[in-house]
Every structure is written in C-alpha cells, then in structure tokens.
Amino acid sequence: MLNGRSLEDLVREADRAQFLCHSSKCQPFHSSVEITRNDKGMRCLTAPEILFRKAILSSMEER
C-alpha cells in the first residue's frame, strides 16, 4: 500500500495510461504488468521500473 492505495492498482493505472494511443482507438491494449509467484508461492508483481516510479508519484498526488 502507498498512501492508502494498492501498489498493484497504481502500477496497473500507470500501465494503462502509458499505453493510451491518441492516434488510433483500435489498437489493442497489451499490459506490461504480470502477476507471478516466487519459489515460496508468494504473489509477485512484475513490471518495468518506470511503471513503479509512476505509481509512486501517483500515490503522492491528492485525489
């Protein structure tokens, strides 16, 4: 959680916002975020570093 918001939600929002293409509305969305499991079975979030950075900045904005 970052400032009361789920890190996963913030990263997914950043991923979606980054993908938006204003020139074509017919381009399908391909997420860069993956949910995996580590060797202990714990749920892990895998995404490019820039999405985590954007998520952190987004968590600091007032709603």
- pLDDT tens digit sequence for 20-46: 666 666 677 788 999 999 999 999 999
Tokens of 42: 């714990």
pLDDT digits (tens, 9 = 90+) for 43-60: 999 999 999 999 999 999
Residue 2 falls within a domain, yes or no? no
pLDDT of res. 21:
66
The pair of three-digit structure tokens given for residue 13, joined into one six-digit string = 């929002």
Looking at the domain assignment, is residue 56 inside a domain?
yes
Would you say residue 19 lies in a domain? yes
Q: What length does the chain have?
A: 63
Count of domains for the chain: 1
- Which residue bears the tokens 């954007």? 54
Q: Taking residues 3-14, what's their average pLDDT?
A: 93
Q: Which structural domain, as residue segments, surrounds residue 28?
A: 7-60
Instruction: Return the sign of the alpha-carbon dihedral for residues 2, 31, 40, 49.
Output: negative
1 within domain boundaries: no
The mean pLDDT of 4-11, rounded to a whole number, is: 93
pLDDT value at 18 more than 90: no
